[in-house]
Each structure stands twice: as C-alpha cells, then as structure tokens.
Amino acid sequence: MIKSKIAFVIPSLSAGGAERVVSTLCNELVLRYDITIIIYTKTVPFYELDSRINLVYCRNNNSQSINVWQGIKNNYLLYRKIVQIVKKNKIDLIIGFMTNSNILTVLAGKTLGLPTIISERIDPSNSQTNAIWKKLKKFLYPMANSLVVQTQPIKSYFSKWLPENKLIILPNPLVNTFSQAKEKRVQPIKENIVLNVGRLTTQKGQERLIRSFAKINPDNWKLQLVGSGPLEAIYRRLINDLNMNDKIELLGLQQDIIPYYQKAKIFAFPSLYEGFPNALTEAMYMGLACISTDCPTGPSELIKNGLNGYLVPMKNHSEFEEKLNMLILNQNLVKIFSEKAPLAVTHLETKNVVAQWEILIKKVILS
C-alpha cells in the first residue's frame, strides 16, 4: 500500500509547546504516512524523532530581519525553499504550525495546488503578531482547507472570518512517555515541592508565583521552576533580593521533565494567556494538585474549581497566594485533587488525539 506523503512546516524544533506537539504527532503518524518535517534553520531537534521521519531545513544559518524589507525578503526565500522541498518530496498534504509557518504553508499550497491544514497554537487575542501578519492571516487563512485550534474561545475568534466547516478543535496530545511513567508500579517518593514548568517569560507569570511563594515562605517547602527564557537573569536577581535562594530554584531547561512531576506535590500555573497549556495538562495527568489562573485559554477546560484543582481569577494575586497556601497547609486537599486531576485529561492521551488528527488528514487528502 502506497503511503500518503505529509509535510509539517514549523520554524524550529527547539523546546516548546508547538514543537513538542509536532514531534509527538509525527512520531505516531510515521507508522501510516511518509512524514517530512520542514524547519527554517539547521538545528538539532530538542525532542526525539523517529528515524523514519525526513527532517529537512530551509537554510544553514538564522537570518535576522533588521527591517520590513529584509523581513519580506527572508520570508520570500523561505516560501521558495518550502515550495522546492515539497515538490522534490512529492508531498500530498502540507500542515503548518504557528502563524508564520501557516502563512507560508498556505502560499506554498496555493502555488502547488496542494491541500493545506494550518494550526494556531496561542490565544490570538493576546498574540504579539504585527499588523502586516494580522492582515496576511485574514487574507490567507480562509484559503486553507482546515484551521486547527485548541479551544472553543479560539474557535469563536476565528469564526468571525472563517467558515465553520474549516474550523476544528484538536487539543494537544500528551506524550507517550507520560503514560509509560504512570504505568510503572514503583513511583518516586513525593517531596514538599511546588513546581512550575514553562518558558521564563512575562506570558507565563512566574514573577507573581515567586513573590507569592516568598511571602508565604512555608517551612520545609521548595519552589522549583523548570524552563529557560529571557527573564531568567531577572528572576535570579529577584530571588536573591527576596532572600529565597535556599527555597526557590531555577532549574533551567530539562530534557526529561517527568522526574520533576513525579517528585512534586503541587503544580502552580500563573499564566497570563495560553493556547492550550501543555504543562498544566501534564501535571494533572501525573496527579499533581494544581492551581492555575483562569487565563485565556485552556485552564478552565481542565480544572473544575474546588473539585480537581483551584482556578483563580486573573490578576487576583491575593486569592492565588491564599489558595496556594491552603494547598501547602492541607495535605488531605492535595490528596483529593491529586486523585481527581488525571480523570480530566485522560482523553488527551496520544492515541486519542492522533486518531482525531488522522480523521482530519484523511478528510482533507480525499477532499
């Protein structure tokens, strides 16, 4: 049987939510399709890829856009290279991830007469997309066969200028290694750790978490933040200024995140906005007691406040601090949330989400 050939287009395969989703999907889909991943610049993927996946890149080195005209030129060269790669590999379907790649994917698809699926990975009402890219989105997105979004609010946003039949909600899949970790009979002993996982950026809201934990200053507890990002040096100075170096740890980027979930008791997620919160999903699946801001979009679809975690109104810093302290002081509540949290996210196991993607892929290829 001849396999259909699919190309995924994404700027990079560095550490990140969209990159992890593409890697996870491709590792599963390669069993039934010929898979090519097109990235912009030659780099080593952060996430492990199946050896059968064809990974290609558009250029050897990153090319910075110092002005609008340079940006237009760089993106035109990327578009031409994507068209060339797709033609050479005789691709049947192109799938774009993230705004820039989505636009280039639609352009390449139209040039070659190929079907396209594009995927938004962040809440568009909070994205930092500039005016030019916003106009391109409104013009080009309707030309794709399907736009994949992660939550109902994001779908509602795009329904203003895309037909209903082109919009589909597909949440992020959990990586198979999480299921494998849960199946092991021997689990690490839990420690008094509040965990946060994510890039150290304003979007993720870690400054508020650091300040809240320092104010609570619980005995025999630690706050661990896993991830790297542009605010790392600022957060290190903040932790030092708060005299919390012995209790708050910045652990940097970690290839294997599972041991950190396994050791921690509480997961704190103070984001300002999301597309779909991978880290929160993983923490709930691994049975952590979770507290999250009710940010757009995603947490409210996972946490039922007071039943399987705490969902705190945005910008209500005092309540976030109060609920975090309640969890730290109440081990029975931690146990209750820990038992109920996984039930809210089992539908996101890899096999379930990939099956939904396959239905969409077959529909678009045959359309």
Q: Is pLDDT above 90 for 87? A: yes
Q: Is pLDDT above 70 for 184? A: no
Average pLDDT over residues 24-45: 94
- In this predicted structure, what is the pLDDT of residue 255? 87
Q: Write the CA distances from 260 to 254, 270, 286, 314, integer angstroms.
A: 9, 18, 10, 26
What would the DSSP string read from start to end of 219-233? Answer: TT-EEEEEB--TTHH
Across the chain, mean pLDDT equals 91
Query: In this structure, are residues 298 and 273 in contact, taking their beta carbons and an 8 Å threshold?
Result: no
Class of domain 5-173+349-366: alpha beta
- In this predicted structure, what is the pLDDT of residue 97? 95
Spatial distance between the Cα atoms of 280 and 33, rounded to a whole number of angstroms: 30
What pLDDT digit, counting tens, does each position of 217-239 carry? 999 999 999 999 999 999 999 99
Spatial distance between the Cα atoms of 86 and 34, rounded to a whole number of angstroms: 13
Kindly list the strands in the beta sheet with 54-59, ordered across the sheet, starting from the edge strand earlier in the chain.
Answer: 54-59, 34-41, 5-9, 93-97, 116-119, 146-149, 167-169
Q: Which residues make up the CATH 3.40.50.2000 domain(s) of the chain?
A: 5-173+349-366, 177-346
Q: Is pLDDT above 70 for 183? A: no
- Tabulate helix, strand, coil % of the chain (nearest 5): 45, 20, 35
Q: Is pLDDT above 70 for 128? A: no
- In this predicted structure, what is the pLDDT of residue 59? 87
Cβ count within 10 A of residue 172:
22
What pLDDT digit, counting tens, does each position of 291-340 carry? 999 998 889 999 999 999 999 998 899 999 999 999 999 999 999 999 99
| Burial (Cβ within 10 Å: 0-12, 13-18, ≥19) of residue 256 | exposed
Does domain 177-346 match CATH 3.40.50.2000? Answer: yes
Q: Is pLDDT above 90 for 172? A: no
